[in-house]
Amino acid sequence: MMKKMMLNLMVKELSTTWYGMNEFYIRDNNGYVLGFAEQKG
């Protein structure tokens, strides 16, 4: 059940962008999309 809930929240899985950031995006329980990023280093 928890895994199914997590899959519904994930908008974009962890990936490295062309500009060198590790990013992922999730949707919170209010419908907002939250992005998290960290400089690859």
Per-residue model confidence as pLDDT tens digits over 1-40: 445 555 567 889 999 999 999 999 999 888 899 999 999 8
Q: What's the chain look like in SS3?
A: CHHHHHHHHEEEEEEECCCCEEEEEEECCCCCEEEEEEECC
Q: Give how many domains the chain has, as a whole number.
A: 1
Distances (CA, A) of 26 to 19, 31, 41: 20, 9, 23
Per-residue pLDDT at 6: 53
Residues 17 and 37: their CA atoms lie apart, in Å, by: 10
Residue 32 lies in domain = 2-39
Rounded to two decimals, the pTM is 0.70
